[in-house]
């Protein structure tokens, strides 16, 4: 009986000691800090516990007897089950310093943590870990998710890490210890591993910055809203890429907010602006009613998704619902892009095709980005950049932008051609209207000329003919006793009647032809020389070209010929006059007589006749020449 009592007492003391001093650590799960040269992944040495209800304290964790051990798969996958995302989580591990000096380490349990607390249990006493004043280098790495822990010589302590993730899907779990003296080196290494992505991002951001300036400059010149929408769209994309690159792996409050909410807000804003751009760029309301409805309702869906996402983020603690909203919104945008592509291929519009090809590029590389972001898959035997989701996202927006530039160039070239055609059409229309106005004026003038010539013929002609007849009758009655005044009246009326007939002939638009002019001059010349001592010969081709001559040209040519024939009768003393008509490149009239010729020293005998003849020909764009050659040769030429 006594022996049994002793046994029970030993067991009770064992449990009391176990409760008081904690469970003995399994040596296989203890991290020997002396063996850590620079840094070490301690996933294999950690226990993991999740508290969805958020009721367990670090003291409760310290007293637990069994914890779930982390597996080797977690560091490689870097993804944890979604049920842990909104929970309070705990990592428990034991460190042992077998050296003879204090060892300091920086600890990073995971990325994007909004709660990160370290508790240290030594000899059964649990305390919060604090930074040491002489460990100033550690402060430089705090913004990268590290905190300082220290072990005294020969110390073995259990550490409880309390953490909670930021409300974002881009999280991992990778507990790592880094010696204090190498902490800054480790941070710089982390930056260098993403430097290639940063370079690509900066290049793409620079390209988009150029597009922003170009878009707003184009809007300033043309005030077309599509340039304003595209400039705002490229601004959103460039801001998103720039912040993604600059804030990568930074554990700051702004980066947490950016990764959890702001990045998706910027993405939805860029999509909304892009839909506005397409509607305005293609004028879908007029040209593509089906696409107009599709994009219009899609804008409302995007706005609804943004409103719900905002409410879930600020009003609830459900990261699961938040991620589902983001996922389904992106799937909807992929479906929208595919629908737009299928509809776009139905139209034979080159400008629309460029946007279709841009959306194909967006969807293809966007799906690749979504795949590498949502899975732990990595492409083997290739540089790690080809397994980076952000790299493919940059390619998607960059390719779309390049295709937009090509499409814009095509549109500008097309609009330039259409503008030139429109200007040519307006110019031809203006010329046609001017010609019609001129034609109306000419027809009005012709009608007025015809009316005046008809009135002169009917009124003045009849009167002058009556005067002439009466003067002739008076001459007959006074034949035995001539009256000089009656003779002068007869001559004057006859001369005035001839002049009036010439005026009527020149004014009548029905006579505005070259054959009519030649016929009239021929008839006038033969009649003019009938009662003179000179013989008149007229040489003309059997066929005179059918060309139009205005009344002004006919009148000036006829009056010049008439003046020339008067000079022949008055001054040349010629017995023969020859008139030749030629129709080569010019219409020419050559008047030749065999008289005494013209003495250039006595030109004043002709008064203003020669000057008037020359002025008349110059007025209608003709040529006037006169020379002596066994008589007088006078030549008139005019283009026809």
The answer to whether residue 112 is domain-embedded is yes
Domain count, the chain: 3
The answer to whether residue 466 is domain-embedded is no
The answer to whether residue 498 is domain-embedded is no
In this structure, the answer to whether residues 207 and 186 fall within a common structural domain is no
In this structure, the answer to whether residues 116 and 143 fall within a common structural domain is yes
Average pLDDT over residues 53-78: 62
Average pLDDT over residues 398-415: 82
Do 558 and 565 contact (CB within 8 A), yes or no?
Answer: no
In this structure, the answer to whether residues 121 and 60 fall within a common structural domain is yes
| 3-state secondary structure at position 247 | coil
Tokens of 582: 């030629």
Q: What is the pLDDT of residues 336-392, one digit of tens each?
A: 999 999 998 888 888 888 889 988 988 888 888 877 776 767 777 776 677 777 778
In this structure, the answer to whether residues 169 and 305 fall within a common structural domain is no
Tokens of 70: 């982390």
| Closest residue by Cα to residue 399 from 350, 349, 364, 347 | 364
Tell me, what CATH number does 29's domain have? 2.60.40.2380
In this structure, the answer to whether residues 291 and 177 fall within a common structural domain is no
The answer to whether residue 505 is domain-embedded is no
In this structure, the answer to whether residues 172 and 213 fall within a common structural domain is no
In this structure, the answer to whether residues 261 and 374 fall within a common structural domain is yes
The answer to whether the predicted template modeling score (pTM) of the entire model surpasses 0.75 is: no
pLDDT, residue 76, reads 40
Q: Which domain holds residue 162?
A: 22-192
In this structure, the answer to whether residues 239 and 286 fall within a common structural domain is yes
pLDDT, residue 307, reads 95
In this structure, the answer to whether residues 377 and 232 fall within a common structural domain is yes
In this structure, the answer to whether residues 59 and 180 fall within a common structural domain is yes
Task: State the pLDDT confidence band at 409, using cuts at 50, 70 and 90.
Answer: confident
pLDDT, residue 89, reads 86
The answer to whether residue 624 is domain-embedded is yes
CA distances from 393 to 26, 156, 370 (A): 46, 47, 8
pLDDT, residue 81, reads 64
The answer to whether residue 491 is domain-embedded is no
The answer to whether residue 299 is domain-embedded is yes
**In sequence order, what are the beta bridge partners of 583?**
587
- Tell me which of 144, 170, 192 is where a domain ends: 192
Average pLDDT, the chain: 79
The answer to whether residue 417 is domain-embedded is yes
In this structure, the answer to whether residues 517 and 628 fall within a common structural domain is yes
- Tell me which of 398, 425, 452 is where a domain ends: 425
Tokens of 375: 């899975």
Q: Please state the three-class secondary structure of 124-135 as a single string.
A: CEEEECCCCCCC
- Tell me which of 384, 406, 425 is where a domain ends: 425
Tell me, what CATH number does 591's domain have? 3.30.565.10
In this structure, the answer to whether residues 127 and 94 fall within a common structural domain is yes
Name the helix (H) or strand (E) containing 103. strand 103-110
pLDDT, residue 297, reads 95
């Amino acid at each position: 009986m006594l022996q049994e009592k002793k046994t029970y007492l030993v067991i009770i003391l064992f449990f009391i000691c176990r409760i008081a001093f904690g469970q003995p650590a399994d040596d296989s799960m203890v991290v020997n800090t002396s063996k850590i040269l620079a840094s070490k992944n301690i996933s294999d040495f950690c226990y993991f516990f999740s508290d969805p209800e958020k009721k367990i304290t670090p003291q409760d964790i310290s007293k637990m007897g069994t914890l779930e051990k982390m597996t080797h798969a977690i560091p490689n996958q870097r993804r944890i089950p979604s049920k842990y995302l909104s929970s309070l989580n705990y990592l428990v591990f034991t460190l042992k310093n077998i050296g003879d000096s204090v060892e300091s380490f920086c600890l990073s349990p995971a990325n994007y943590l909004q709660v990160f607390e370290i508790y240290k249990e030594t000899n059964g006493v649990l305390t919060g870990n604090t930074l040491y004043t002489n460990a100033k280098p550690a402060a430089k790495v705090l913004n990268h998710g590290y905190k300082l822990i220290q072990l005294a010589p020969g110390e073995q302590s259990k550490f409880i890490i309390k953490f909670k993730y930021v409300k974002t899907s881009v999280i991992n779990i990778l507990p790592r210890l880094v010696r204090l003296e190498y902490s800054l080196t480790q941070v710089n290494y982390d930056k260098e591993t993403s430097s290639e992505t940063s370079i690509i991002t900066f290049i793409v951001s620079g390209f988009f910055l150029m597009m922003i300036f170009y878009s707003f400059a184009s809007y300033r010149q043309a005030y077309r809203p599509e340039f304003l929408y595209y400039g705002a769209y490229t601004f959103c994309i460039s801001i998103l890429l720039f912040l993604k690159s600059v804030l990568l792996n930074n554990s700051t409050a702004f980066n947490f907010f950016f990764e959890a909410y702001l990045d998706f807000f910027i993405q939805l804003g860029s999509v909304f602006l892009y839909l506005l751009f397409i509607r305005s760029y293609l004028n879908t309301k007029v040209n593509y009613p089906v696409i107009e409805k599709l994009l219009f309702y899609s804008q409302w869906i995007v706005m609804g998704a943004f409103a719900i996402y905002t409410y879930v983020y600020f009003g609830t603690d459900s990261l699961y619902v938040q991620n589902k909203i983001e996922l389904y919104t992106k799937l909807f945008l992929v479906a929208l892009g595919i629908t737009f592509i299928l509809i776009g291929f139905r139209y034979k519009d080159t400008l629309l095709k460029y946007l279709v090809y841009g959306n194909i590029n967006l969807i293809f590389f966007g799906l690749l980005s979504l795949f590498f972001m949502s899975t732990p898959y990595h492409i083997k035997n290739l540089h790690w950049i080809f397994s980076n989701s952000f790299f493919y996202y940059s390619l998607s927006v960059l390719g779309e932008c390049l295709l937009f530039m090509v499409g814009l160039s095509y549109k500008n070239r097309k609009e330039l051609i259409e503008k030139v055609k429109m200007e040519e059409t307006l110019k031809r229309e203006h010329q046609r209207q001017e010609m019609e106005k001129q034609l109306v004026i000419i027809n009005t003038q012709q009608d007025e000329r015809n009316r005046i010539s008809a009135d002169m013929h009917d009124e003045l002609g009849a009167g002058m003919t009556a005067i002439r007849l009466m003067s002739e009758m008076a001459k007959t009655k006074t034949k035995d006793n001539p009256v000089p005044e009656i003779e002068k009246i007869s001559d004057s009326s006859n001369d005035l009647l001839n002049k009036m007939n010439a005026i009527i002939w020149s004014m009548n638009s029905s006579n505005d032809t070259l054959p009519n002019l030649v016929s009239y001059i021929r008839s006038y010349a033969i009649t003019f020389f009938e009662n003179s001592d000179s013989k008149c010969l007229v040489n003309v081709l059997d066929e005179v070209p059918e060309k139009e001559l205005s009344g002004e040209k006919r009148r000036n040519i006829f009056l010049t010929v008439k003046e020339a024939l008067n000079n022949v009768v008055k001054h040349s003393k010629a017995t023969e006059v020859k008139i030749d008509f030629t129709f080569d490149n010019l219409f020419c009239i050559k008047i030749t007589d065999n008289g005494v010729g013209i003495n250039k020293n006595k030109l004043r005998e002709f008064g203003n006749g020669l000057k008037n003849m020359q002025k008349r020909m110059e007025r209608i764009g003709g040529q006037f020449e006169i020379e002596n050659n066994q008589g007088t040769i006078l030549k008139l030429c005019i283009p026809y």
